[in-house]
Amino acid sequence: MSAIILFCAIVILSCIVTNKFSNKLGMPSLVFFMFLGVLFGSDGILKLSFEDYDLTSKLCSIGLLFIIFYGGFCTRKCEDKKVTVQAILLSSLGTVLTAVFTAAFCFYGLRMSFAESFLIGAIISSTDAASVFSILRSKRLNLKYNTAPLLEMESGSNDPFAYMLTMLGIMLLKGGSVASLTPMLFKQLFFGIFFGVVVAYAAMYIFKKTNLLTEGTDTIFMVAVALLSYALPDLLGGNGYLSVYITGIILGNSEIRNKINLIYFFDGITALSQVIIFFLIGFLSFPHRVPNILMPAIAITVFLSFIARPLAVFLIMKPFKAPWNQISFISWAGLRGAASIVFAIMVVAESTNLRHDLFHIVFVVALLSVAIQGSMLPVIAKRDSMIDRFADVRKTFNDYQQESAIALDKVIIKDSHPWNGCMLKDLNISDNALILVINRNGEKIVPKGNTMLMSGDEVLLGTTVVKAKNDIKLCETVVDEGHEWLNRKINTINCPEDFLIALIKRGDEAFVPKGDTEIKLGDTLVFYEA
């Protein structure tokens, strides 16, 4: 037992080290986790024999359900309804079209059986949310036309449809008839949607209307919610992945307590899940078998990347009059990844009469997709002129507003208060705090350095410690190269009397500015305007 625990610790630490190198080399870290698994595996340096598809399928399924739940939980609803419709069509109809086109190529071009052709098309029909999210955020790809939320919604929600197609393929492989597929399809959709909504609203009720959850148990409760949302429909033949995604997106876009703590918690859970999944994928692989399937795998990758995915995107996006550069970028952003390989493992675990090595075919397709397409995504964004310097990709995630939130405290100035009769510039307050508004006899006063506090004043004090309440409206702007405030100190800017810069976000840092703070390129200014 101790040896197993030591092995797990070494694997996780090794993945952390490889993640550091991957950031420097510009390649997605998940590829390095996969290669690490190969090094530990049967054909690697340590030559640890492992070929348990059933165990791997169960472990990866658990990890994938948390990844899909977190994908929904972190995806903010886009205010542009057209983008939402496009994302839903891409994740559903787009997934089906991609599967059909790829299956037709495998059947007619590669002469595979109908069932195996359908399975390959189904397995690799969805885009990988973890890879798309990781690249968009790490590379700060601020995209035009609301493309970032479109991609995030699509990649987060199309895995359930690919899973459903994969289950249909398994039934075909086992000799199931078309008549038996119809009720199975109905149950997948009905129970998946039904339990996803019911579990989400039941969880919201417990969060908002009961005292059942004490501090610290909310994260444990949310784990149970995700597991329950998956297990209930799955037991009845429904789509558990569709259910957990719906539950995640409903809860993520609702006002629940301690959301920031939940996001940090699930960020760690999904990171660990990704490490485990990609390591196990590499660990399970046998590189010496790859040459036997290399040519068909490359052919499928090329067809998928340059014909199937672009054609599906074109058929869906063009009726919305999407510009060609957006269609081109979305087509290239169809990265395959963990979900596809996990579905392939499920197929191998369920079937013993496969003529082709589906696992290694999908393994190579996903590896090429993440390594080549993922690495080139920033280059393609620049080539297609898709970079919007006034956008911020972080705003499409539900954790954005909490990353550098302001906490508000109200201070009432009484006759005996030490601030009574003092000018603001003479107050000894924290460097990470700022007086935002003074309420004096019903009048809101935006404070300046020479503003004097008086008895009866209500002072609103802002800090960067915890999340802000919604009792004042904060706006923001990004300082670009043409901004008139670039490289100027705040006390030299001629601001209106009712205007105050409350917070500056610079990279991963957030701080309350002072008069001599210099505004730099790329700063996000959070301001209050009465």
At 99, which CATH number? Answer: 1.20.1530.20
**Alpha-carbon gap, residue 486 to 235, rounded angstroms:** 59
The CA–CA distances, whole Å, from 312 to 65, 98, 99, 342, 345 equal 26, 6, 10, 23, 26
User: How many domains are there within the chain?
Assistant: 2
**Alpha-carbon gap, residue 65 to 240, rounded angstroms:** 8
Q: Which residues of 431-451 are buried (b: 16+ CB within 10 A; e: fewer)?
A: eebbbbbbebeeeebbbeeeb
**Alpha-carbon gap, residue 251 to 72, rounded angstroms:** 9
Residues 242 and 391 in one domain: yes
Closest CA relative to residue 222, chosen from 189, 244, 190 = 244
**Is the pTM of the predicted complex or chain greater than 0.85?**
no
**Alpha-carbon gap, residue 301 to 124, rounded angstroms:** 10
| CB 353, CB 113: distance < 8 Å | no
Residues 269 and 302 in one domain: yes
**Which domain does 235 fall in, by range?**
2-396
| CB 233, CB 239: distance < 8 Å | yes
Closest CA relative to residue 102, chosen from 299, 267, 341 = 299
Closest CA relative to residue 72, chosen from 204, 236, 213, 241 = 241
In 388-495, which ranges are continuous DSSP H helix? 400-403
Q: pLDDT (tens digit, 0 to 9) for every residue of the chain, 530 residues total? A: 677 678 777 767 776 776 666 555 545 566 777 777 888 777 777 777 777 888 888 888 888 888 888 888 877 666 557 778 888 899 889 999 999 999 999 999 999 988 889 999 999 998 877 677 677 766 666 777 878 888 888 887 888 889 889 988 888 877 766 666 778 888 888 999 999 999 999 999 888 888 777 767 888 889 999 999 999 999 998 899 889 999 998 988 887 777 777 887 887 888 788 888 888 888 888 888 888 899 999 999 999 999 999 999 999 999 988 899 989 999 998 888 778 888 888 888 877 678 888 888 988 998 888 878 877 888 888 888 887 665 555 555 544 444 444 556 667 787 877 788 888 877 766 555 677 788 888 788 878 778 888 888 888 776 654 444 444 556 666 676 666 788 888 888 877 666 778 778 776 566 778 778 888 887 878 776 55
| CB 311, CB 99: distance < 8 Å | no
| CB 76, CB 70: distance < 8 Å | no
* Domain endpoint, select from 348, 377, 396: 396
Residue with tokens 């986790």: 33
Residues 223 and 196 in one domain: yes
- The tokens describing 448, both together, are 């300046």
Residues 45 and 159 in one domain: yes
| CB 162, CB 122: distance < 8 Å | yes
**Alpha-carbon gap, residue 53 to 349, rounded angstroms:** 5
The residues with which 489 forms a beta bridge, in sequence order, are 518
Residue 290, H or E segment = helix 290-303
Residues 216 and 318 in one domain: yes
**pLDDT at position 121:** 93
Closest CA relative to residue 339, chosen from 84, 66, 149 = 66
Q: Is 410 helix (H, G, I), strand (E, B) or coil?
A: strand
Residues 172 and 258 in one domain: yes
**pLDDT at position 465:** 44
The CA–CA distances, whole Å, from 405 to 27, 463, 511, 513 equal 31, 8, 10, 14
Residues 257 and 352 in one domain: yes
Residue 436, H or E segment = strand 433-440
The answer for residues whose C-beta is within 8 angstroms of residue 483's C-beta and 6 or more apart is 519
* Domain endpoint, select from 361, 396, 431: 396
At 425, which CATH number? Answer: 3.30.70.1450
- The tokens describing 495, both together, are 């601001």
Q: Where are the beta strands (DSSP E) in 391-432?
A: 407-412
Residues 346 and 421 in one domain: no
**pLDDT at position 15:** 67
Q: Is 213 helix (H, G, I), strand (E, B) or coil?
A: coil
* Domain endpoint, select from 355, 371, 396: 396
For the four alpha carbons of 331, 169, 352 and 295, in that order, the dihedral sign comes to negative
Residues 81 and 165 in one domain: yes
What is the Cα 420 distance to its own chain's centre? 49
| CB 257, CB 206: distance < 8 Å | no
**pLDDT at position 317:** 92
Q: Is 505 helix (H, G, I), strand (E, B) or coil?
A: strand
Residues 138 and 186 in one domain: yes
Residues 9 and 137 in one domain: yes
Closest CA relative to residue 135, chosen from 217, 14, 26, 215 = 26
CA triplet 472, 258, 476: central angle to 5 degrees? 35
Residues 370 and 434 in one domain: no
